[in-house]
Chain A
Amino acid sequence: QPALTQPASVSGSPGQSITISCTGTSSDVGNYNLVSWYQQHPGKAPKLMIYEGHKRPSGVSDRFSGSKSGNTASLTISGLQAEDEADYHCCSYAGDYTWVFGGGTKLTVL
């Protein structure tokens, strides 16, 4: 069982906004501002989209944003585009130099 809980799937129409949740515990998500999000297209390696909860790497669209409340982190994608269809994975530092991932969420753009 993945340590972090994500919805298995979410969907939205082009132009809409969606939010993917990532629920952990007070030992990981809730204790550190070190959640990152990764986009993964089929057959490809994951790509960093958000780090330290809300920061975007250079080159990542500002349509992607991250936030956290308590033990739950969230990834919001606004202005959905067809190219956003992919799997999204959250990850958190969990203390003692260990990391944990969520089970991944499949985003479908209708």
Chain B
Amino acid sequence: QVQLVQSGAEVKNPGASVKVSCKASGYIFNNYVIHWVRQAPGQGLEWMGWVNGGNGDRKYSQNLQGRVILNRDTSASTAYMELSSLKSEDTAIYFCARVDGSGHAFFDYWGQGTLVTVSS
């Protein structure tokens, strides 16, 4: 069965960086795109960007351009999201989600979420 399993909760100081992983199983990693979506406390979902599991292409939200880096390791079937220069407003649950690489535009499987808390 398809699973996306994310790394554990993180607590970071303002100005630091955080890296969250998303390990995929149950499907061919290279055939799908991994998106990242975050949810601040009590708020809606915010799209952050994507990385293509096959060719490594990526796209970022303009809101986060310059602070977020998305990568993947095909040998480990794992995608990574790194967010730098953390601010208190980055406190959120970060989700990875899968999109079919053949032109579909919906997220059919999601990771369990990773809580990132930014606090001094």
Contact, CB under 8 Å: A104 / B105: no
Chain A hits for B107, CB < 8 A: 36, 38, 46, 48, 91
* In-complex Cβ contact of A34 among B35, B61, B105 (8 A): B105
Give the contacts of A70-110 with B (CB-CB under 8 A).
Answer: 89, 91, 93, 96-104
User: Count of A-B contacts with CB under 8 A?
Assistant: 62
Asked whether B80 is an interface residue with its Cβ less than 8 Å from the other chain, the reply is no
Using C-beta atoms within 8 Å of the partner chain, give the interface range for chain B: 20 to 34
The number of chain A residues with a CB under 8 A from chain B is 25
Sample (7) of A-B pairs whose CB atoms are under 8 Å apart: A2-B46, A36-B105, A38-B107, A47-B110, A99-B47, A101-B45, A104-B44
- Given A57-B108, A96-B59, A101-B45, 6 additional A-B pairs, CB 8 A: A2-B46, A45-B110, A45-B112, A46-B95, A48-B106, A101-B44
The chain A residue with its CB closest to the CB of B57 is A97
Cα–Cα, bound, A57→B106 (Å)? 11
Name the CB-closest residue of A to B113: A45
State whether A89 touches B44 (Cβ < 8 A).
yes
B→A interface (CB under 8 Å): 35, 37, 43-47, 50, 59, 61, 95, 97, 104-108, 110-113
Nearest residue, chain B, Cβ from A57: B108
Chain A residues with CB under 8 Å of chain B are 2, 6, 32, 34, 36, 38, 45-48, 51-52, 57, 89, 91, 93, 96-104
In chain B, what residue has the closest Cβ to A87? B44
Residues on A with beta carbons closer than 8 Å to the beta carbon of B45: 38, 46, 89, 91, 101, 104
User: When the two chains form their complex, are residues B43 and A104 in contact, meaning their CB atoms are under 8 A apart?
Assistant: yes
Nearest opposing residue in chain A for B110, CB measure: A45
Given known A38-B107, A45-B113, A46-B107, contact A99–B35 (CB-CB < 8 A): yes
Cα of A36 to Cα of B45 in the assembled complex, Å: 13
Contact A45 B59 (CB under 8 A): no
A39 to B36 Cα, complex, angstroms? 17
Q: How far is the CA of A34 from the CA of B113 in the complex (A)?
A: 24
Taking a contact as CB atoms under 8 Å apart, the answer to whether B95 and A45 are in contact is yes
